[in-house]
Amino acid sequence: MASRPGTDSLPTLNVVGCGRAAGSLVRLWLQAGVAQIGALLNRSQLSTQRAAQRIGEGAVAHGIEHMPPADYWLIGTGDDQIATVAKGLAAVRDDLEGNLVFHLAGRFGLDVLMPLQERGAHLAAMHPVRSLTHNHLTLAAFQGTACVAEGSSAALARLQPLVEAIGGRWLPVRDIDRGLYHAAVSILSNVTKGVAWKAQNWMTGAGLPAATAAAVAHQLLATTMEDLFRSGARQSITGPVVRGDTRTIEAHLDALQDSYSADIDVYRVLARTVLELAEERGDLDAATLARFDTLLRR
């Protein structure tokens, strides 16, 4: 596909694995006018054609060796394919000197890209901390998105303008424990949604109409996020655990035993998490902590 008028001076980006996440960012970079797309490569020609149609730019490649030279290479495959693609790229390309090669996985750092270092490429890992929806993400929605990036100084110097051009919040890191980091962000995002779903089930079990339960859950989540952003978790926790009200917690457990006995362990784990935070803040004396420990022990 031909370049757009006036884009000859823009850096070129090739994408191997142009799915939802990579495709979302590519569309934003095109809208921001900071890159032009050289070629796309997915597992099948049909998938590659569809990606090019959704993005509106990019040639359909039939193999890594057939992709044109590029300033940037984005490996947007699933996490388990990144290392394989990096090895394949290093094996067939001798024109990567000075190019930036990066991936989007939170689970991995630079280790999966190391074969490319011998080719003279600059390596980076950039994890946008949000859901990426290929067809619907806009520049306005991406504003302020945390982008945790790791790489050499040269790699980060090339990557930072791309992130900031689409409104990302640039957060460089070094030598982090990727397993622990990814566990944290996965828990924060997905368990929050799972807890909201579980709480709505309990409310409907208590007799609230489904729409009312959803409205209550959404309102609580919204105000909870406001409190969290304004004051942080430590300063904003409230409720029976913080007050040392073991009788209320015991009543909660009795109610769950009657209606959702399989969920008691879920409640205990979450209540103990709040208890740890209350203990760290210094809200509870030793006797109250001991009563809670007995009550919430498996």
Residue 278, helix vs strand vs coil: helix
Could you tell me the CATH number of the domain that includes residue 55?
3.40.50.720
Neighbours of 70 (CB within 10 A): 23
Considering 152, 176, 200, which residue would you say is the last residue of a domain? 176
Q: Are residues 162 and 210 in the same domain?
A: no
Task: Please choose, from the candidates 12, 129, 123, 124, the residue with its C-alpha nearest in 3D space to the C-alpha of residue 59.
Answer: 12
- CATH number, domain of 245, equals 1.10.1040
Q: Do 163 and 191 lie in a common domain?
A: no
In this structure, how many other beta carbons lie within 10 angstroms of the beta carbon of residue 150? 24
Yes or no: say if 146 and 171 are a contact pair by the CB < 8 Å rule: yes
Domain, as residue range, for 284:
180-296
Residue 1 belongs to a domain:
no
Domain membership of residue 130 (yes or no) is yes
* 13-38 mean pLDDT: 95
The pLDDT-based confidence of 216 (bands split at 50, 70, 90) is very high
Q: Are residues 160 and 205 in the same domain?
A: no
Amino acid at 231: S
The verdict on 21 and 159 lying in the same domain is yes
| pLDDT for residue 8 is more than 80 | no
| Ramachandran bin of 33, using left for φ above 0, alpha for ψ from -120 to 50, beta for the remaining angles | left
The answer to whether residue 4 is domain-embedded is: no
pLDDT beyond 60 at 125: yes
Mean pLDDT computed over 83-92: 97
Assigned domain for 67 exists: yes
Q: Which of 176, 207, 235 is the last residue of a domain?
A: 176
Residues 146 and 186 in one domain: no
Give tens-digit pLDDT for 128-151. 999 887 678 899 999 999 999 999
Res. 46: pLDDT tops 70: yes
User: Which pLDDT band holds residue 7 (cuts at 50, 70, 90)?
Assistant: low
Number of compact structural domains in the chain: 2
Residue 6 domain-assigned (yes or no) = no
Residue among 43, 15, 42 at smallest CA distance from 29: 15
Residue 2, domain member (yes or no): no
